Structure 1
Amino acid sequence: METTKKRSRTDDVSDSQASKKHILEKVGSSSSLLPTNALLDIQEDFRIVVGTYERLLFGINAVWNEEKTGVKLEPVFIIPAHTGCIRTVAIGGHFLASGSTDEIIRLYDVKKRKEYGSLGGHHSGDITDIQFHGKYMLSASDDHSINLWRTKDWEFLKTLKGHKARVNSVAVHPTGKIALSVGADRTAIVWNLMTGRKASVNKLGREEPLVVLWDPAGEKYAIMFDKTINIYNVSDAKVATTITQKSRIHSFKYFHSRRKDKDYIVTGSEDKTIRIHDIESGECVAEIKGHKLRVKAVTIVESDGKIVLVSVSSDGIVKCWDLEEALENQDVEPLGEYNTKCRATCITSHFGFSKMEAIAAEEAAADAEAEAVKETKAAKTDKKTKQQTKATAKPQAKKTNKKKG
C-alpha cells in the first residue's frame, strides 16, 4: 500500500497539517461528534455516508420503525477524513473509500468502523470519482487519469490514460468487462477493462459532461450535463432520450419501480427539487419538494422491500424518501432526516451489514437443507437402483447354474 503523498512545497505541507490539526481539535472538543467505536452493538437496516466541504465524513445508521413507515437516523461515526474538501465517496463490500482535493484516497472498514489506510502518490490532482466493482476499484482525477486498484491487497494495477483534461466521472458496466468515463475535454471514453486499454473515444459536443451512469440492464448509459441528461443506446452510441430541466442538475440515479415494472431516473437540482423522470419519454412524472437549499446529491438503497431515496442538500440535511410512494403521491413526506450541520458535497449508501449477515445465514441454511434433501434423494435412488440390479441378476445366475448341471 502506498503511503500518503508528500507535497513538494514545505509551506503547503505546513498549511495542510495545521488545517488537519484544527479539524481534529474541533472533533475532539465537540460533544455532538461520536468516535468510531461509539456504537459497537447497533443494528442498522441501512447506512448512509456523507462527505462534506468541512472535510468530515459522516456515517449515519438508519433503522426502520416497527410499522416500516419511518426510519430513525443517527450518526455511528464522524471522521476528520481529509485535509481538503471531500469530493467523492463510494462503498464496495465492507470498504468505504473517500477522495479529496488533497489528492489522497482514504480507506475504511465500515463493518468494523475502523480506518484501513490511505492511497497516495498515484494521482497528482483532486480525486473526482471513485467506483467499486467486484474485486477492483477505479479512481478518477483532475490529472486526466483513471487508476485501477485491486481491493484484495490494494495493489496499484494500472493507469488508464486517454483524457486530455479532468476526468469527471467513471462508470463500470454490470459485466465488469468495460467502463465509461467522461471528462472536461468533452469526450466519453470506452475502456476495455480486460486489457486496460481504451476501446473508443466519442466526442460529445460543446457542453461538458459531468456524470455518467449505466442503466440496471447495461443496455443504455446516461450522461449528465448542466441542465440535461442524455440517454444513449449502447449499440450505436446515439441519443435515445433527452431529459431537460430549467434548473441545474447536481446528481442523478437510475432505479427500477417494482409496482410499475419500469426504470426511472431521479435527479437532485439547484431549485431545491427532486424529480422523477420516465426514461422512455424523458417526461417528469413526479416531484419531491422537501429541502430548503439545492439538492446536492442523491443515492438509492433497497431495504425491507422498499426503494429508499436518500437526498442531501447543501446545508447538510439528509432526508429519506419512499420512491414507490413518491411516484403515486405528490405530497410524500420524508421517512426520516438528520442534520449534519455541514456543507454536504457527496453521498452514498449501503444495505445494513447485520441484515446482510442474516440473509447470508438464511441462504446458507437453505442451501444446506437443499443439499441434504438432494443427497437423501440420491441415496434413495442409489439404493433402489442396487436393489433392481440385484433382483435382475438373480434369475440369470440360476439359469447359468442350471446349464452347468
Structure 2
Amino acid sequence: MMMEVYASTYERYLVGYKLTLNRNSNSEATELKSEEKSEDNVICTKLELQFRIHSAASSLRCVSTNGSVLACGSSDEAIYLYDVTSRRELGPVRFHSATVNCIDFFQKRLMVSGAEDGSVCVWDCSGLTFSLLKQFRLKKAVLSVSVEPTSGRVALTTDAGGYVKVWDLCSCVLAYSMPVKWKPHTVLWPPLLKSKSSSGNNETESKIDRFAILGDKILDVKSLNDGQTIASFKIDNCGLLTCAKFVTDKLLVVSTDAGHLILVSLEDNKTIELRNAHNSRIKGLSVQPNDEQLNKFTVFSGSSDGFIKVWTSDVAKEPLDLCFVTLVNVKCRITSLTSASIQE
C-alpha cells in the first residue's frame, strides 16, 4: 500500500502527491535538504507529484475521497469527480444551487454533500457514474457533514445556525437536533481502526461510540449513546481552531489559523501544542494509519500559503509528539485536504 494526499485550491487546481521512499546513493543523499534525510542519509521520504488538474469553473472549496474516487466541491455549485486509479476526470454532478461546502463518503457506496443553500444530497457512488438518491434541506448553510463509518446509516451536520443535527440517511429524517452556544463549524466521527487481539493472531475493528464537535475555541467529544460530553477542551491561546481529525478514538490532532498543530489526548485529558508547524492558516488535515505498525500514523497538513507537510506519530511512545517528515509547495492557496492508502 502507498499513501497519497490530495489538495483542493482556490485557483481551481486539484493536486495529488504520492508519499515515496527513495533510496539514494551516499553521494546523492548529501545533496538532499536536511529535513528530507533519514538518519543514515540513504532513505529520503518525499511527496512526488502525480497529477495537477484544472477543470472547475470556480474555486474548489472541499475535497474528499473513498480511495477510488476524488470529489471536489466548488463555488460554482458543482461537485467534480476524478478517478484516482486512472487519473481521469469523470465529469461534474450538479444538484446544489450554491457553493458546495463539504463532502463525505461511506466506503464506496454513498457520498453525502452539503451546500451554502442548506441542501444535503445523498449520492449512490457504487459505480463511476454517481446518481442522486435523496435530498433534504436545512434552514441555514451546511458547514460540515460526517457519515458514521460502521453502517453508513447516520450522518452528522453542522450549520450556520449553530446546530449539530443527527440524520437517519435511510429515511432522511432528522433524529435529533442539538443547539450549541459557541457555534461549531466542524463535526466528525472517529475512523474504523484495526487492533490486534490479545493472542496477536487476529485483527478487530474499533467500535464507534463517540463523535467530536469543533468551534473557533472549543473541542467537545460527545457520547453517541446519550449525547453526554466525554471530554471538553477550551483552546484559546493559539489562534482560532480550523480543522480536527481523530488519530485514534482517544487522540485527535487539531489545527489553528496561526499555523499550530495540537495533539488532544482524551485519555490523559491534556493538549500538546506544536507551535509554528506552518507559517499561515492551516486549511486541511488528514490522518492515515500504518498498515504494518498499527500504533503508527501519518498526518498530512495543508496551509493557505500552499505548503503540504507530512508528520508521523507513534501513539505507543511517551511523550506524544508529531515528527516532521517532509514538505512540498503546491504554489496555490490550499482550501482543503484529504488522503488515502492506495493499492500499488
- Which amino acid is the alignment partner of residue 251 of structure 2? Y
Alignment of 1:131-142 (within 5 A): 131-134=104-107, 135-142=109-116
Aligned residues: 303
Name the CA distance, whole Å, in 2 between partners of 1:170 and 1:239.
20
Higher fraction of helix: 1
Counterpart position of 2:242: 250
Name the CA distance, whole Å, in 2 between partners of 1:49 and 1:138.
19
Counterpart position of 1:274: 261
Deviations 1:305-349 (A, max 9, x none): 341001112111111011228964688652111101111110000
What is the CA distance between 1:83 and its match in structure 2?
1.9
What is the CA distance between 1:251 and its match in structure 2?
0.6
Name the CA distance, whole Å, in 1 between partners of 2:70 and 2:80.
8
- Which amino acid is the alignment partner of residue 84 of structure 1? S
* Alignment match of 2:102 (pick from 98, 109, 129): 129
> Is residue 334 of structure 2 the alignment partner of residue 344 of structure 1?
yes
* Alignment match of 1:108 (pick from 67, 82, 86): 82
Counterpart position of 2:312: 322
Counterpart position of 2:203: none
Residue segments in structure 2 that go unaligned for 5+ positions in a row: 24-37, 192-206
Name the CA distance, whole Å, in 2 between partners of 1:288 and 1:263.
22
Taking only aligned residues, the RMSD between alpha carbons, in angstroms, comes to 2.2
Counterpart position of 2:201: none
Alignment of 1:5-44 (within 5 A): none
Name the CA distance, whole Å, in 1 between partners of 2:229 and 2:311.
30
Q: Assess, with a 3 A threshold, how the Cα gap between structure 1 residues 219 and 70 changes in structure 2: closer, same or farther.
A: farther
Counterpart position of 1:240: 230
What is the CA distance between 1:294 and its match in structure 2?
2.4
Helix, strand or coil for the counterpart of 1:323?
Answer: strand
- Which amino acid is the alignment partner of residue 158 of structure 1? K
Deviations 1:69-105 (A, max 9, x none): 7522121111113222211101113111000111010
Q: Given the two structures, how large is their TM-score scaled by the length of structure 2?
A: 0.82
Name the CA distance, whole Å, in 1 between partners of 2:298 and 2:152.
25
Mapped contact 1:325–1:332 kept (Cα < 8 A):
no
Name the CA distance, whole Å, in 2 between partners of 1:332 and 1:284.
13
Counterpart position of 1:15: none
Name the CA distance, whole Å, in 1 between partners of 2:315 and 2:246.
16
Q: Assess, with a 3 A threshold, how the Cα gap between structure 1 residues 197 and 284 changes in structure 2: closer, same or farther.
A: same
Deviations 1:58-79 (A, max 9, x none): 1111112457975221211111
Name the CA distance, whole Å, in 2 between partners of 1:288 and 1:327.
20
> Is residue 173 of structure 2 the alignment partner of residue 183 of structure 1?
no
Counterpart position of 1:219: 209
Name the CA distance, whole Å, in 2 between partners of 1:327 and 1:69.
23
Q: Assess, with a 3 A threshold, how the Cα gap between structure 1 residues 350 and 331 changes in structure 2: closer, same or farther.
A: closer
Q: Assess, with a 3 A threshold, how the Cα gap between structure 1 residues 126 and 295 changes in structure 2: closer, same or farther.
A: same
Counterpart position of 1:47: 4
Pick which of 241-250 and 64-73 moved more: 64-73
Mapped contact 2:260–2:273 kept (Cα < 8 A):
no
Name the CA distance, whole Å, in 1 between partners of 2:43 and 2:313.
13
Q: Which has the higher contact order (CA 8 A, sep 6+)?
A: 2
Deviations 1:136-163 (A, max 9, x none): 11010011111011012411111022x2
* Alignment match of 2:72 (pick from 84, 88, 98): 98
> Is residue 173 of structure 2 the alignment partner of residue 197 of structure 1?
yes
Residue segments in structure 1 that go unaligned for 5+ positions in a row: 1-43, 257-261, 355-405
- Which amino acid is the alignment partner of residue 52 of structure 1? T
- Which amino acid is the alignment partner of residue 108 of structure 1? Y
Counterpart position of 1:231: 221
Counterpart position of 1:210: 185
Counterpart position of 1:58: 15
Helix, strand or coil for the counterpart of 1:334?
Answer: strand
What is the CA distance between 1:57 and its match in structure 2?
0.7
Name the CA distance, whole Å, in 1 between partners of 2:316 and 2:103.
29
Helix, strand or coil for the counterpart of 2:250?
Answer: strand
Q: Given the two structures, how large is their TM-score scaled by the length of structure 1?
A: 0.70
Q: Assess, with a 3 A threshold, how the Cα gap between structure 1 residues 185 and 45 changes in structure 2: closer, same or farther.
A: same
What is the CA distance between 1:295 and its match in structure 2?
2.0
What is the CA distance between 1:235 and its match in structure 2?
2.1
Counterpart position of 2:29: none
Q: Which has the larger radius of gyration?
A: 1
Deviations 1:108-133 (A, max 9, x none): 0011100011101x101110111110
Mapped contact 1:178–1:192 kept (Cα < 8 A):
yes
Name the CA distance, whole Å, in 1 between partners of 2:67 and 2:280.
32
> Is residue 142 of structure 2 the alignment partner of residue 170 of structure 1?
no
Helix, strand or coil for the counterpart of 2:314?
Answer: helix
Mapped contact 1:70–1:336 kept (Cα < 8 A):
no
Name the CA distance, whole Å, in 2 between partners of 1:190 and 1:330.
33
Mapped contact 2:145–2:158 kept (Cα < 8 A):
yes
